Structure 1
Amino acid sequence: MVDPYKNLAWDDFRLIKAIADVRSLPAAAALLGINHSTVFRRLAQIEEALGAKLFERHRSGYTLTTVGEEMVALAQRVDDDITAFTRKMAGRELAPAGELRVTTNDSLLIHLLTPLFVKFRKQCHDVRLDVVLANQELNLSKRDADVAIRATDSPPENLVGRRVASIAWALYGRADQVPDPGGVDPESLFERDWVSLGENLATLKAVKFVQEHVPPERIGYRVNTVLGLAEAVEQGLGIGHLPCFIADRRPGLVRLGPPVPEFAADLWLLTHPDLRHSPRVRVFLDFLAAEVAKQRKFIEGVAADPHASTGSVATDVPVDASP
């Protein structure tokens, strides 16, 4: 008699996990890139081979049975092992070549990183950059990205990285609405209209300051991106806090005060420990650290010319390392 369990393959585990993740056969088919009928037929075959139902069918979707939960748990463990293996192999490359997936946000990409990426590609043509814009953190352990470039005070503890600069923030207004920014009474600023970032960025200290100190009726405009906030200030919708490296490049904006130290956020270059010695990751991080160092004082709000200053290049440290 043929053992039915021998007919199970890794693709079967992937299929069951996909159904469990999205709770419907059409969505699982789309996720796997196969036909709905194939998913339906293969699910029936797997359940017949096991002699057990893996899902309960409800109007709200497919729900795992106890046996199904065990199969999905095993699939997750295998998937984690495969990901860890491929990540370690990627860290043993011999030369800087191949695709490098980099995640960052739109503000950093447009106002700082794109020119650096262009320069990097000219120097390392064999490394192809795949840039993923995302304000939320991608999972570097799952290789959603190889390198993350983030402004954060608390980088994930399971990553290693370099703190390459501190991003300064200051209060800005439209230049023609504030002809004498140096003579503005700080208390009178709270009588002006303000713009602020939205609730999705409420953890930023600049946003908390506005929430705590500006009367709600004075906050006439909120937007969920820093780029949108800079546009709003430049269009005269109100005054607002902005990163200096963005606002100082806009001639239509003026500072209404010096950078606020407590609003600053560290700029990190992050990767997974298994990838830190990969040649393509190594050459990319070394290049970016050196280039950002040239603009460090501009990013930190103390120099107008982004190419006028130099700085030291940080070395890799585990982000959870004790001092």
Structure 2
Amino acid sequence: MHRQNWDDLRFVLAVAETGSVSEAARALSVTHATVLRRVAAFEERHGEPVFLRSARGYSVLPDKLAVLEAAQEVENAVMAVDRLLTGSTAALKGPVRITSTDSLCQSVLPGIVQDISAAYPDLRLTLHSANRHLDFNRLAADITVRPAEQLEDTLIGIKAGVLTFALYGPTAAGRADEKWLTLEGPLSRSKPAEWMRHALRKSQFGVGSDSFMVQIGLIAAGAGQGFLPTFLADSNPGLSRKPDVAEISVPIWVASAADMAHTSKVKVVSEQLVDGIRRVLG
């Protein structure tokens, strides 16, 4: 594949993955105009459009899905080679990108990341807050700190602790028919959301959000009751734990792509993250 074709294809794949030119630009650290130009160049070179443009964003045209799937497989192989080459010779310096949920990024991880940065000043650590799972094959992250029952087959990781959820309501007395706050977006795949789908009726659901940090504010404001991580909610004076439902626990993993996990900088940062999480969460 010609180098220019490959470079343009990276931009096409980023838009296909995110469904948005702006999101693709952020993921690739380029401007919005650059993404538009490279996608247009790819489409012009091949004589036909790849995307359907709408108010909701960019979606791949059905007859182009197989082409992009094949291209993604090629990119995966190229990126794997790049990771192996750069990781095998890298010292403890350079960028290490860490992704985690907004709850952990705003409460548990900042101090731990700062400690790692102080101990290894040549590392350039980035803490990316995202409740969705990032694509490791696109080098969007080197390490993920993520609650999950188990890891995908493409990841290698260590259980660093346990994330415990409990039911909370506002400190002020709630109503007997208090609504349950729903978990939306990526949180809809969480273990508390799964419990709610099986245990509750639709008529019991009220306001929803895609963030436990937002959920805290909603519950404290009296919008209803809902599941929250205990390490966040137990110390909040606006919240009261409710004994109606048993706690739900999920392992917290520190993980990396299988072909990156044993590189020196990723291994050291991962070990430090595990130690820090165990120290903070007990």
With the shorter chain as reference, the TM-score category is 0.7 to 0.9
> Which residue does 2:234 correspond to in 1?
248
Query: Of residues 126, 140, 143 in structure 2, which corresponds to 1:147?
Result: 143
> Which residue does 1:269 correspond to in 2?
254
- d(CA) in 1 for partners of 2:102, 2:39: 39
Distance 1:252 1:74, change over 3 A: closer
Shift of 1:244: 0.4
CA contact (8 A) 2:170 2:240 kept: yes
In percent, how many aligned pairs have the same letter?
21
Q: Which runs of 5+ in 2 are unaligned?
A: 25-29, 54-59
- d(CA) in 1 for partners of 2:182, 2:115: 34
Give secondary structure in 1 for the equivalent of 2:91: coil
What amino acid sits opposite 2:47 in the alignment?
F
> Which residue does 1:174 correspond to in 2?
170
Q: Deviations over 1:229-254 (max 9, x none)?
A: 11111222222211101102312222
What amino acid sits opposite 2:272 in the alignment?
F
Distance 1:19 1:236, change over 3 A: closer
Give secondary structure in 2 for the equivalent of 1:119: helix
- d(CA) in 1 for partners of 2:224, 2:235: 18
- d(CA) in 2 for partners of 1:165, 1:77: 34
> Which residue does 1:92 correspond to in 2?
88
CA contact (8 A) 1:18 1:31 kept: no
Query: Of residues 193, 199, 203 in structure 2, which corresponds to 1:207?
Result: 193
Q: Deviations over 1:118-156 (max 9, x none)?
A: 222111111111222222211213322110111111321
CA contact (8 A) 2:13 2:72 kept: no
Q: Aligned runs of 1:57-96 on 2, under 5 Å?
A: 78-96=74-92
> Which residue does 1:55 correspond to in 2?
47
- d(CA) in 2 for partners of 1:274, 1:37: 29
> Which residue does 1:224 correspond to in 2?
210
- d(CA) in 1 for partners of 2:221, 2:35: 49
> Which residue does 1:9 correspond to in 2?
2
What amino acid sits opposite 1:194 in the alignment?
W
CA contact (8 A) 1:160 1:271 kept: yes
Which structure has more strand as a fraction of its residues? 2
What amino acid sits opposite 1:237 in the alignment?
A
Give secondary structure in 1 for the equivalent of 2:224: coil
- d(CA) in 2 for partners of 1:165, 1:110: 17
Q: Which structure has the larger Rg over C-alpha atoms?
A: 1
Q: Aligned runs of 1:292-307 on 2, under 5 Å?
A: 292-297=277-282
What amino acid sits opposite 2:177 in the alignment?
E
Distance 1:249 1:90, change over 3 A: farther
- d(CA) in 2 for partners of 1:86, 1:106: 29
- d(CA) in 1 for partners of 2:262, 2:107: 28
CA contact (8 A) 1:152 1:267 kept: yes
- d(CA) in 1 for partners of 2:187, 2:266: 29
CA contact (8 A) 2:255 2:261 kept: no
Q: Which runs of 5+ in 1 are unaligned?
A: 1-7, 47-53, 179-188, 298-323
TM-score norm. by structure 2 comes to 0.76
Shift of 1:281: 0.8
Distance 1:214 1:124, change over 3 A: same
- d(CA) in 1 for partners of 2:195, 2:211: 17
